[in-house]
Amino acid sequence: MKTLILALWCVGALNAAQIYTTFDVEPLQTAELTLTATGVIKTMRVDVGDRVKAGAVLLELDNDDLKRSVELARDDVALSELRARFAEQSFKRYEKVRDVLDDERFEQVESAYLQGQAALRYAKTELLLKEAMLEKSILRAPYDGVVSKRHKQIGDGVSGAMLEPIVTLIDDAKVKLVLGFDEQYWQVVKPGNHVRYKVDGSDAQREGVIAKVYPTADPKTRKAYAEVITEHLMSGLFGEGTIEVE
């Protein structure tokens, strides 16, 4: 009789309307930011906990020489534009009286015009290259977020070849609950299932909806995993709850 009751209980558990789950709160997006340039950190503009906007400068390497090269390249572009404009004006004037000029003189003017245009294109290309080199020495935030860790300090060296993490940035506007549940329910838990849960340290009952079910289970823990997107929770928290299934 006891065996029959146990068997019926097991069947009922497998077909339960609620599945027990634990979860970790993780940032929806996290990035270990690095630079492809090599140098020494001269300026650090953020600390752990600082909120930044996309595009904000987080730090700069010692790049005074690069800044000067950009300034010189800009001056060269300005000078090249002036020369190209003068050569173009001369060419247009001579073009109007082409019929009364000898070929050699016109070709000289035309050549000066073409050389001026080529020199301007070269100067602009050099400026773009130098600006790109300067930009590589500056670390910017790729999205709005919070600095969760600084791996380097002012004066530390950075190797572009090593691609070392310098700053860890998380997007905490929304977080995800990574649910772990018994793998035997892998065919039962689906996106759209409702989840009732509590975060450790709080008695507040919360609700969410499964956004995705991970395609693999952990062979060590025998757990499958799913994800709920929510907000107003701190990354790193832990909790437990139930998944409602049909």
Burial of 81 (0-12, 13-18, 19+ CB in 10 A): middle
Whether residue 65 is predicted with pLDDT greater than 80 in this model: the reply is: yes
Whether residue 193 is predicted with pLDDT greater than 70 in this model: the reply is: yes
- State the Cα–Cα distance between residues 171 and 237, nearest whole angstrom: 16
Region label for 140, one of left (φ > 0), alpha (ψ between -120 and 50) or beta (otherwise): beta
Whether residue 148 is predicted with pLDDT greater than 90 in this model: the reply is: yes
Report the share of the chain in percent with pLDDT over 70: 93
Sequence-distant (6+) residues with CB within 8 A of 165 are 32, 33, 34, 151
Predicted confidence band at 4 (pLDDT cuts at 50, 70, 90)? Answer: very low
Predicted confidence band at 38 (pLDDT cuts at 50, 70, 90)? Answer: very high
CB atoms within 10 A of CB 35: 21
Rounded to two decimals, the pTM is 0.73
What average pLDDT does this structure show over 24-31?
Answer: 93
Domains of the chain (ranges, CATH numbers): 64-135 (1.10.287)
- State the Cα–Cα distance between residues 50 and 63, nearest whole angstrom: 24
What average pLDDT does this structure show over 191-202?
Answer: 95
Compute the mean pLDDT over every residue in the chain, rounded to the nearest whole number.
90
- Amino acid type, 95: E
Give bridge partners of residue 238 from the DSSP assignment: 24
Lowest mean pLDDT among 55-59, 79-83, 168-172, 177-181: 168-172
Summarised one tens digit per residue, pLDDT across range 197-245 is 999 999 899 999 999 999 999 999 999 999 999 998 988 999 999 999 9
